[in-house]
């Protein structure tokens, strides 16, 4: 009888799912930053009773890369270099200060290059004659600055912002993926995700509304640490009693959800909330985060189930690294984030 050919050792479906989803998300995020930026930009206009005005332009960037967008006023006030400019990891912020004779009312605000993108621009203008809150789109890249100018409210754009933030938040997705792999595809994952949702909703609201203030850099360190913790828990410990996170994953998800909510609020603060519709915008942003999270969980679950289905037909052994590959993939990334963010504190 011919001896059976030994099977090649290869990561199991859960390991493949973790690696493919993490690598795919990283590549998708990086590629999109260079090609199709969907995070909204923001124009804030504040006109004083004297007629002097301050115009702030917040444009999303990815590192040093930004799509070519420029705000314009028909009177030419924004054609000169800005009075100040700062760059954060997520946004480039430019500020122009206009004299009392600027006469903004009646001028046309336009965004050069907007028609060549898929980006929206939130417009929040507080003029002497009234307030404007609307959205400029590639199909409508300009508007007349007048209190009676028709236009949709800017609030619905926050739903898209929430979806975009979670789907490009690689660290948050790594945590959710680790939690999913830890709990498994059963009813326990519903409890864990619900607890995570409730927790980050509370801290997101408290921080965005100004009730609680935290150090964003410290929060980012703690978020990375939470992912390291989950990765460590993915390592099997034969013969040892199950840890707290395995016995009560919803409890740990609740605790770490508070940290992630602070981080979500930091992203929302980059754009800000509309003055007269803060609760609505906050609610839509949070719903957007949940939609993005559920989309990712559904995609991860489908990949895991698909790999389980094809596993019997594979010509190699898929058991040896089944429980180690996810832990090392997620743990390695989160350890890098932790070290990098700790270095940024000093």
Q: Going by DSSP bridges, is the β-strand pair 316-317/8-9 parallel, antiparallel, or unpaired?
A: parallel
Query: Of residues 321 and 324, which shows the higher confidence score?
Result: 324
Residues 31-73 pLDDT 10s? 333 334 456 788 888 888 888 899 999 887 765 556 788 899 9
pLDDT score of 7 more than 70: no
* Secondary structure of residue 125 in the 3-state scheme: strand
Residues 175-184 pLDDT 10s? 888 888 888 7
For range 209-217, the mean pLDDT: 81
Contact 30, 341 (CB under 8 A): no
Which pLDDT value is given to residue 2? 47
Q: Where are the alpha helices (DSSP H) in the chain?
A: 13-35, 157-167, 170-183, 187-208, 216-233, 244-247, 249-269, 278-310, 325-344
Helix axes 13-35 and 278-310, enclosed angle (nearest 10): 130
Contact 143, 109 (CB under 8 A): yes
Which pLDDT value is given to residue 150? 55
Q: Which of the four pLDDT bands, split at 50, 70 and 90, describes residue 27?
A: very low
pLDDT score of 76 more than 80: yes
Instruction: Give, as one character, the DSSP assignment of residue 107.
Output: P
Which pLDDT value is given to residue 19? 47
Distance CA 274, CA 41 (A): 14
pLDDT score of 5 more than 80: no
Instruction: Give, as one character, the DSSP assignment of residue 171.
Output: H
Residues 196-206 pLDDT 10s? 888 888 988 88
Placement of tokens 């984030």 in the chain: 337
Residues 259-291 pLDDT 10s? 888 888 776 766 677 766 778 888 888 888 889
Q: Which of 53-57, 74-78, 327-331 is predicted least confidently?
A: 327-331
Residues 91-145 pLDDT 10s? 788 999 999 887 888 889 999 988 887 778 888 888 887 778 788 888 888 888 8
Summary mean pLDDT of the chain: 77
Q: What is the DSSP string of 250-300?
A: HHHHHHHHHHHHHHHHHHHHTT---TT-HHHHHHHHHHHHHHHHHHHHHHH
Q: How many residues does the chain have?
A: 346
Q: What is the DSSP string of 205-252?
A: HHHHTTS----HHHHHHHHHHHHHHHHHHTS--TTSPPPHHHH-HHHH
For range 78-88, the mean pLDDT: 88
Share of the chain above pLDDT 70, in %: 77
CA distances in angstroms from 265 to 49, 206, 269, listed in the order given: 32, 9, 6
Placement of tokens 């059963």 in the chain: 186
Whole-model pTM: value is 0.67
Within 10 angstroms of residue 295's Cβ, the number of other Cβ atoms is: 13
Contact 165, 289 (CB under 8 A): yes
Which pLDDT value is given to residue 326? 79
Query: Of residues 114 and 320, which shows the higher confidence score?
Result: 114
Give ∠ CA 240-246-249 in degrees, rounded to 5. 160
Contact 119, 38 (CB under 8 A): yes
Distance CA 249, CA 239 (A): 20
Backbone φ, ψ for residue 53 (5° rounding): -145, 155
Query: Of residues 330 and 68, which shows the higher confidence score?
Result: 330
pLDDT score of 8 more than 80: no
pLDDT score of 78 more than 50: yes
Distance CA 226, CA 291 (A): 22
């Amino acid at each position: 009888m011919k001896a059976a050919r030994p099977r090649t050792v290869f990561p199991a479906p859960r390991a493949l799912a973790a690696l493919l989803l993490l690598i795919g998300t990283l590549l998708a995020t990086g590629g999109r930053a260079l090609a199709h930026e969907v995070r909204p930009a923001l124009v804030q206009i504040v006109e004083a009773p004297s007629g002097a005005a301050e115009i702030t332009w917040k444009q999303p960037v990815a590192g040093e890369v930004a799509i070519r967008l420029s705000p314009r006023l028909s009177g030419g006030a924004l054609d000169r270099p800005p009075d100040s400019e700062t760059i954060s990891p997520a946004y480039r912020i430019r500020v122009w200060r206009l004299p009392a004779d600027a006469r903004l009312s009646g001028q046309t605000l336009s965004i050069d290059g907007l028609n060549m993108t898929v980006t929206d621009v939130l417009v929040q203008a507080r003029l002497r004659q009234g307030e404007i809150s609307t959205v400029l789109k590639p199909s409508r890249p300009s508007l007349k600055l007048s209190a009676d100018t028709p236009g949709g409210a800017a609030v619905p754009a926050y739903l898209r912002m929430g979806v975009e933030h979670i789907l490009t938040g690689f660290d948050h997705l790594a945590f959710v993926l680790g939690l999913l792999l830890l709990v498994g595809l059963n009813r326990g994952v519903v409890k864990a995700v619900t607890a995570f949702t409730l927790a980050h909703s509370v801290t997101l609201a408290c921080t965005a509304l100004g009730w609680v203030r935290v150090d964003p850099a410290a929060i980012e360190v703690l978020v990375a640490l939470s992912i390291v913790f989950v990765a460590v828990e993915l390592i099997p410990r034969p013969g040892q009693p199950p840890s707290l996170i395995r016995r009560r994953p919803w409890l740990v998800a609740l605790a770490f959800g508070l940290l992630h909510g602070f981080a979500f609020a930091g992203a929302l603060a980059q754009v800000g909330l509309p003055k007269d519709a803060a609760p609505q915008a906050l609610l839509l942003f949070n719903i957007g985060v949940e939609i993005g999270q559920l989309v990712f969980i559904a995609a991860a679950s489908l990949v895991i189930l698909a790999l389980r289905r094809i596993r019997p037909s594979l010509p190699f052994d898929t058991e040896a690294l089944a429980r180690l590959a996810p832990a090392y993939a997620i743990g390695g990334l989160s350890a890098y984030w932790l070290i990098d963010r700790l270095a940024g504190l000093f």
